């Protein structure tokens, strides 16, 4: 199919002179075309420009294109969610009430709830149930303009269930139009059966699980929850380096609740990204800037746990490339609304609206090694395009807590039109 999106108030391209995550003032450079158009052929962007320039350069394609009128609207790349725990059994609204009554996230986890509660539900759930449930979540993401989602395992903590989660993600990548990018996170918690000997669990991850993940090509990344009471920096280092030997790119849940030199470790092991970073040290931030590690910040988690947000402003000023994601999971961030999370990034981390847009498109794409393929509207990139029913990009975050998605084009196909999901996507048809 050939598509021509015409007459948008603003086309936000994020075009840049280099192919790297954006830092410092680059994060404010949206490269907007006022009154712009986008030409798409098959699954690729052909060109972005004015209607007249596209007509002159590509008369044949323009002649056969189906036209989408974007008058009064904003056009931008599909949003990228670089951090989710997408596949899980059950929900944990009971813990939300416990936290409202004063319990902390770690209190609940140490008492066998939290990640352990979801692990139990995920172990019990059938593949089909997890697939159907996750398919619906992906539909919700798509309706909110998110066209690529990273998905971590880590609610199995035994091989069979970790594999089940990763296979669900794989099948969804094959069947659902949203792109699902997999991360192995066997090191999400120490399961009860290894409580007395956590190092034996670390050995199991290193010697058995990581080789199987690599052999079956079930994930591209390897993530660890490096946190006091979960995995130490020493254990985390071992797990991340072991993954690297098998071609799994390191990621790390770092400095979320207590400072633990996780940001420093991310830079040291060459992680593509470090996530959370609520209490990352000044040195850790400087190390990440030097190493070019993307900071994937999750202001929805801070909001939901009533914690102080990460120092996003400082990180950008220090030269760290920042991405913003939902952290969608049943405990600390049960939302798929990246647009709401974007508003929180403005409100609670001192980021500008322009920086937040960069953080949820091109920088998020780089956080999952997709920066060359998605995250900006440039010739040759995948045609993942979002049309928002707002007059300018500032309104996306100003009218907060709302879904402004009008049209979503994924791989060059219209999958959401006038805010409504394609009927073909509504049922999972497992």
Residue span binding ligand NIG (CB under 6 A) among the ranges 69-77, 192-200, 211-219, 326-334: 326-334
Residue span binding ligand NIG (CB under 6 A) among the ranges 194-202, 289-297, 330-338, 375-383: 330-338
Q: Residues 118, 222, 273, 361: which binds ligand NIG (CB under 6 A)? A: 118
Return the number of the residue (253 or 404) whose C-beta is nearest ligand NIG: 253
Return the number of the residue (23 or 273) whose C-beta is nearest Zn ion: 273
Considering only residues 317 through 356, tell me which ones interact with Zn ion, judged by CB under 5 A. 327
- 273 in a labelled binding site: no
Return the number of the residue (265 or 353) whose C-beta is nearest ligand NIG: 265
Supply the angle between the helices 282-291 and 262-269 in degrees, to the nearest 10. 20
SS (H, E, C) 306-340: CCCCCCHHHHHHCCCCEEECCCEECCCECCCCHHH
Contact call for residue 329 and ligand NIG (CB under 6 A): yes
Contact call for residue 339 and ligand NIG (CB under 6 A): no
Q: Residues 85, 144, 238, 382: which binds ligand NIG (CB under 6 A)? A: 85
Residue nearest ligand NIG, Cβ-based: 331
Q: Alpha-carbon distance 377 to 268, whole Å?
A: 33
Beta strands, E only, 206-293 = 221-226, 249-254, 273-276
Contact call for residue 299 and ligand NIG (CB under 6 A): no
Q: How far is CA 412 from the centre of its chain?
A: 21
Among Zn ion, ligand NIG, none, the one that 237 touches (CB under a kind-dependent 5 to 8 A) is: none
The one-character DSSP state at 21 is -
Which residues make beta-bridge pairs with 187? 224
Residue span binding ligand NIG (CB under 6 A) among the ranges 58-66, 265-273, 283-291, 325-333: 325-333
Q: Residues 122, 222, 332, 407: which binds ligand NIG (CB under 6 A)? A: 332
Q: Residues 253, 311, 381, 406: which binds ligand NIG (CB under 6 A)? A: 253
Return the number of the residue (115 or 408) whose C-beta is nearest ligand NIG: 115
DSSP H or E segment with residue 418: none
CA distances from 325 to 38, 243, 401 (A): 26, 24, 15
Buried b (16+ CB within 10 A) or exposed e, 101-134: eeeebbebbeeebbbbbbbbbbbebeeeebbebb
Minimum separation from the CB atom of position 223 to ligand NIG (A): 9
CA distances from 127 to 10, 133, 160, 295, 429 (A): 43, 10, 11, 33, 14
Residues near ligand NIG (CB under 6 A) are 85, 114-115, 118, 225, 253, 256, 301, 327, 329-333
Annotated binding site for N-formimidoyl-L-glutamate: 155, 329, 331
């Amino acid at each position: 199919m050939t598509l021509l999106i015409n007459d948008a108030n603003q086309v936000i391209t994020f075009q840049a002179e280099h192919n790297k995550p954006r830092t410092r003032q680059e994060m404010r450079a949206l490269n907007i075309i006022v009154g712009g158009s986008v030409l798409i052929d098959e699954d690729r962007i052909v060109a972005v420009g004015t209607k007249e320039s596209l007509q002159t350069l590509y008369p044949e394609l323009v002649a056969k294109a189906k036209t989408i009128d974007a008058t009064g609207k904003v056009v931008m790349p599909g949003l990228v969610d670089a951090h989710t725990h997408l596949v899980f059994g059950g929900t944990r609204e009971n813990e939300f009430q416990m936290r409202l009554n004063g319990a902390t996230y770690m209190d609940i986890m140490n008492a066998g709830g939290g990640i352990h509660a979801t692990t139990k539900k995920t172990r019990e759930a059938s593949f089909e149930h997890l697939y159907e449930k996750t398919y619906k979540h992906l539909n919700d993401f798509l309706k909110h303009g998110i066209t690529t989602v990273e998905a971590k395992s880590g609610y199995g903590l035994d091989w069979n269930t970790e594999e089940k989660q990763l296979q669900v993600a794989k099948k969804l990548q094959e069947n659902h139009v949203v792109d699902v990018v997999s991360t192995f996170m066997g090191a999400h918690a120490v399961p009860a059966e290894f409580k007395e000997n956590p190092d034996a669990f670390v050995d199991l991850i290193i010697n058995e699980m990581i080789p199987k993940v690599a052999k079956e090509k079930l994930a591209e990344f390897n993530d660890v929850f490096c946190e006091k009471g979960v995995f130490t920096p020493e254990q985390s280092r071992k797990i991340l380096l072991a993954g690297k030997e098998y071609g799994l790119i390191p990621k790390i849940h770092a400095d979320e609740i207590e400072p633990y030199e996780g940001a420093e470790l991310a830079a040291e092991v060459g992680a593509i990204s470090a996530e959370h970073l609520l209490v990352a040290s000044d040195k850790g931030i400087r190390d990440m800037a030097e190493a070019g590690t993307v900071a994937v910040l999750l202001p929805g988690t801070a909001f939901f746990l009533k914690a102080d947000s990460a120092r996003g402003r400082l990180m950008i000023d220090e030269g760290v490339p920042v991405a913003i994601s939902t952290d969608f999971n049943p405990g600390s961030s049960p939302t798929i609304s990246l647009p709401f999370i974007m508003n929180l990034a403005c409100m609670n981390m001192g980021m500008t609206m322009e920086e937040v847009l960069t953080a949820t498109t091109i920088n998020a794409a780089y956080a999952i090694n997709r920066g060359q393929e998605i995250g900006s509207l440039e010739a040759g990139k995948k045609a993942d395009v979002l049309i928002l029913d707002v007059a300018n990009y500032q309104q996306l975050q100003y009218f907060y807590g709302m879904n402004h998605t009008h049209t979503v084009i994924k791989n060059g196909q219209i999958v959401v039109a006038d805010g409504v999901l394609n009927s073909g996507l509504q049922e999972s048809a497992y």
